[in-house]
Structure 1
Amino acid sequence: MSQTNAAITVQAQHWQAVCSRTDLIAQSGVVVWFDGRQVALFYLPGHATPLFAVDNRDPKSGANVIGRGLVGELKGELVVAAPLYKQHFCLRDGRCLEDPQQALQVWPVRISGEQIELGRC
């Protein structure tokens, strides 16, 4: 069964496998390499959208640490808290709840059989 991240409304034209389903850690992030950059995958089973893909680079510090951030819910949104400055990024669309000047890129992501795939538009 294939599950696509409903939060991304842009349709991917090409999908690329980036890791195995067994590489995911529930309620946490893992980092993969995709198109020359680090992408943080967050697996949240039990939610309507269980898988999210966002840029691993923290726009405030420039460090590749988002995949190590804590996930939770804030103001009705699933978020990841950046480890260094603790700003909260919405997993659905990448926006920063505290500072509209900051945002993370997001990618279409899906589970396809035993593979996790990221989409290119």
Structure 2
Amino acid sequence: MTPRAAHEEWQPVCALDELEVERAATALVHGQAVAIFRLADDRVYALGNHDPFARAADVGKGIAKGIVGRRGDVPFVASPAHKHAFDLRTGRCLDDPTAAVPVYDVKVVDGTVHVGHRKAVAA
């Protein structure tokens, strides 16, 4: 296998100004459905757009449709179907420590949001 070129590591998704504050946009990044969240302080997070608690009938109710909030210092999104809270920084479920959603690297360069690859799960 050959290493990926540096430009393939980060995929430009949208302008930061196009993201609504405390809401999510969705994008296909490296072949995966990703929910991208912008907070009031312009921090941006990206999670896999799948609710691990959703049933097949809940298709279309991905994490991007959830409500953004805070528990203390922890920014989270509450899943739309079951209201489980997922930490935007780590993807871990705050209500069930056995569940998590994928988290992706994000950076903003010259006002453009770039999403990288899926982060490794922290122990």
Normalising by structure 1, we get a TM-score of 0.80
Asked if 1:114 is matched to 2:121, the reply is no
Match of 2:20 in 1: 25
Normalising by structure 2, we get a TM-score of 0.79
Match of 1:83 in 2: 80
Summarize the alignment of residues 92-103 of structure 1 with structure 2, pairs less than 5 Å apart. Answer: 92-103=89-100
Distance 2:40 2:108 in 1: 12
Match of 1:56 in 2: 49
Percent of aligned pairs with the same amino acid: 33
Provide the aligned length of Structure 1 versus Structure 2: 107
RMSD between aligned residues: 1.7
Deviation of the 1:45 alpha carbon:
2.7
Consecutive aligned runs of 4 or more in structure 1 exceeding 3 Å deviation: none
Which residues of structure 1 form unaligned runs of 5+? 1-12
Match of 1:105 in 2: 102
Deviation of the 1:100 alpha carbon:
1.5
Contact 1:19–1:32 (CA<8 Å) still a contact in 2? no
Which residues of structure 2 form unaligned runs of 5+? 1-5, 119-123
Contact 2:30–2:117 (CA<8 Å) still a contact in 1? no
